[in-house]
DNA sequence: CGTTATTGGTTCAATAAATGAACCTCGTTA
DNA sequence: TAACGAGGTTCATTTATTGAACCAATAACG
């Protein structure tokens, strides 16, 4: 049921690591028949969501994506000013930032601003779904997001990404409780080795987190003396962006973050 | 033929003026049966390209648009730096800018940067297709774009938008020839009364324009003393953005724009 | 107030559209 | 040159899409 949806799902196979995909590979990845995949691609191409490289014959996301994003910005403003705030914060902190929003299927990285100040940087994939148990953003979301996320915690099996990934629901809940008090979350290589993350919530009108803002730092620069700077930037972004999205901070939310 | 495409076409009814649409209206606009429209909307919603406002029950473009735009930026970089350049130019010139790219169906406004310096400003709709005969961008595209556009000029009927819209193919061709020499195009209320436009081409690797960059000025500020400033900004954007998009200026392209 | 339109959404038989195995052609590789 | 995998096509079979009528709920109206 849902031909249109099946066609759209092809778009999910494009990612940072694989921005262009050929017909055969895409058919294999999606499990669809080549003919079906091709017909879907043609439909998407006609709309502009897919573009075929005339030389390589490979397919990539098309220009219509940009138009729709602009339209989205009109319907639900916030991203544009978020981008600017993140860019400004990036200049000060000198690290990559990413904004993630809670969507139907999970926590989606929506906006990435990479640092221009270091060649060793954390590079995030905007097509990625963030695991709640293994990332600072995810833990933050568990702590400040809708209750059903915490309920599901006991049901779902938590994936182990690295040695330091938390998978025991009990340990995760302890972390989450701690984050509820401090207001910010951090992760030390629990998703990817060598990547430290610091995240803070962005609240909706109902004082429940609708997304997170996070700073990702490579291990080599994740020294404790940089923490105050990072936390101060994070707190400012958290409060400012909550306001931008028309949300409201809970009364119990700390007025500043402490290490 | 093409269910997926029909579903996607629903997205085309969203615009600056109508960012949220209810089921019945959308069915009427698209000519689809309500049941069909609903099924399509549900499919799009599941993918995240559509989002339903739980209060008003109206539909709007969803968050997946942003994710796809980010993916597009990876596959075909350029927009992000284009945005920054346009923002910088906006600060200097103090007027709204828009980038339009030639897509399958015509010239699409892809990126809009509105001026923050004046309350009277030109506000563009990113979902709009620009008519080639009535806008500075369109004329510019006719002049520097692929040859088939000029061929079609004789076949298609040119729409008259205002009193000063050019509709005679002969007159249009004269204009286009002139633009080919000067390098930039302008329009004086030929699309919308009271809006002056100035546009310059952005070239692809084949030295054929793949898009245009334009500055839109309300009539009240479109005085001749501001022209040098506008043209200088336009020329810089034209050459810089051609480079950003991996393109090449034709050898005959002027090194600066003259009134 | 009762009436009338209009909204979002559902149902189900009729039908039109999607599907997939096999096939074709062409460029690479062994 | 033979084998392979690439992109793409064909067409009988099957499956999902379609749309008129219908329902419940809300808004508009005399």
Range from A10-14, A237-241, B153-157 carrying the lowest mean pLDDT: B153-157
Establish whether the CB of A24 is closer than 7 Å to any nucleic acid atom in strand D. yes
Mean pLDDT of B51-67: 89
pLDDT number for residue A1: 57
Lowest-confidence segment of A135-144, A217-226, A228-237 by average pLDDT = A217-226
The mean pLDDT of B211-224, rounded to a whole number, is 93
Answer whether any strand C atom is within 7 A of the Cβ of A98. Answer: no
B65 near A68, Cβ under 8 Å? yes
Show the CA angle centred on residue A62, arms to residues B158 and B156, nearest 5°.
15
Nucleotides in chain D with any atom closer than 7 Å to protein CB: 5-11, 16-21
Return mean pLDDT, chain A.
Answer: 91
- What's the CA A29/C1' C9 distance, rounded, in angstroms? 36
Q: Are B33 and B25 in contact (CB under 8 A)?
A: no
Delimit the domains of chain A by residue range.
Answer: 3-66, 76-244
Rounded to the nearest 10 degrees, how much is the dihedral formed by the CA atoms of A140, A145, A147, A152?
A: -60
Closest alpha carbon to C1' of C7, residue: B24
Classify A199 as helix, strand or coil. Answer: strand
What average pLDDT does this structure show over B118-142?
Answer: 87
pLDDT band at A75 (very low <50, low <70, confident <90, very high): confident
Residue A100 pLDDT exceeds 70: yes
Burial class (CB in 10 A: 0-12, 13-18, 19+), A11: buried
Instruction: Please list every residue in chain B whose beta carbon sits closer than 8 Å to the beta carbon of residue A109.
Output: 67
Residue A56: its pLDDT value, please? 84
Model confidence band, residue B207 (pLDDT cutoffs 50, 70, 90):
very high
Q: Shortest CA distance to A99 belongs to which of A62, A139, A134, A130?
A: A130
pLDDT in tens, A148-193: 999 999 898 899 999 999 999 999 999 999 999 999 999 999 999 9
Q: Please determine, for residue B57, whether its predicted confidence score (pLDDT) is greater than 90.
A: no
Q: Do A74 and B19 touch (CB under 8 A)?
A: yes
pLDDT of B68: 93
- Measured between beta carbons, the chain A residues lying within 8 angstroms of B78 are none
| Confidence at residue B186, expressed as pLDDT on a 0 to 100 scale | 95
CATH of B76-244, one of 3.90.1330.10, 2.60.40.1180, 3.30.450.40, 3.30.470.160: 3.30.450.40
Q: Which residue of A has its CA nearest to B101?
A: A63
Tokens (6 digits) for A96: 């990559």
Query: A120: Cβ–Cβ under 8 A, 6 or more apart, which residues?
Result: A218, A220, A221
A84 confidence band (pLDDT: 50, 70, 90)? confident
Q: Is A145 helix (H, G, I), strand (E, B) or coil?
A: coil
Q: Is there a contact between B11 and A108 if contact means CB atoms under 8 Å apart?
A: no
Q: Residue B1: what pLDDT? A: 55
Across the interface, whether the CB atoms of A75 and B44 are under 8 A apart is answered no
Which chain A residues contact residue B71 at CB under 8 A?
11, 14-16, 19, 61, 65, 126-127
Q: Give pLDDT tens digits for B172-201.
A: 999 999 999 999 999 999 999 999 999 999
Beta carbons of B72 and A63 less than 8 Å apart: yes
What is A3-66's CATH number? 1.10.10.10
Residue that has been written with the tokens 């049921």 in this structure: A1
pLDDT of residue B145: 96
Protein chain A, residues 22-81, with a C-beta closer than 7 Å to any atom of nucleic acid strand C: 32-36, 39-40
- Please write the tens of the pLDDT for every residue from A224-234: 999 999 999 99
Q: Do domains A3-66 and A76-244 have the same CATH topology?
A: no
Nearest protein residue to nucleotide D21, judged by CA and C1' positions:
B35
Radius of gyration of chain B (CA): 19
Please judge whether B126 and A71 are an interchain contact, meaning their C-beta atoms are less than 8 angstroms apart. yes
Which DSSP string corresponds to B26-81?
A: HHHHHT--HHHHHHHHHHHHHHTSEEE-TTT--EEE-THHHHHHHHHHHHSTTHHH
Report the gap between the CA of A111 and the closest CA in chain B (Å). Answer: 7
pLDDT attached to residue A126:
77
């Amino acid at each position: 049921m849902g031909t249109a949806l099946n066609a759209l799902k092809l778009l999910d196979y494009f990612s940072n690591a694989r921005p262009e995909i050929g017909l055969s590979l895409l058919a294999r990845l999606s499990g669809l028949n080549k003919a079906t995949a091709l017909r879907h691609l043609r439909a998407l191409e006609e709309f502009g969501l897919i573009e075929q490289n005339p030389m390589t014959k490979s397919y990539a996301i098309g220009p219509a994506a940009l138009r729709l994003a602009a339209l989205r910005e009109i319907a639900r403003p916030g991203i544009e000013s978020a981008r600017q705030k993140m860019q400004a914060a990036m200049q000060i902190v000198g690290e990559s930032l990413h904004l993630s929003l809670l969507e139907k299927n999970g926590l989606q990285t929506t906006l990435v601003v990479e640092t221009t100040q270091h060649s060793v940087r954390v590079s995030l994939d905007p097509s990625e779904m963030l695991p709640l148990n293994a990332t600072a953003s995810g833990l933050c979301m568990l702590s400040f997001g809708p209750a059903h996320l915490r309920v599901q915690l006991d049901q779902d099996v938590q994936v182990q990404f690295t040695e330091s990934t938390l998978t025991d629901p009990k340990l995760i809940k302890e972390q989450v409780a701690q984050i509820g008090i401090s207001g910010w979350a951090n992760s030390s290589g629990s998703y990817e080795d060598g990547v430290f993350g610091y995240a803070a919530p962005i609240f909706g009108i109902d004082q429940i987190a609708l997304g997170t803002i996070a700073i990702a730092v490579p291990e080599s620069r994740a020294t404790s003396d940089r923490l105050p700077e990072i936390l101060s930037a994070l707190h400012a972004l958290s409060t400012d962006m909550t306001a931008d999205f028309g949300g409201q901070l809970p009364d119990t939310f700390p007025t500043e973050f402490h290490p």
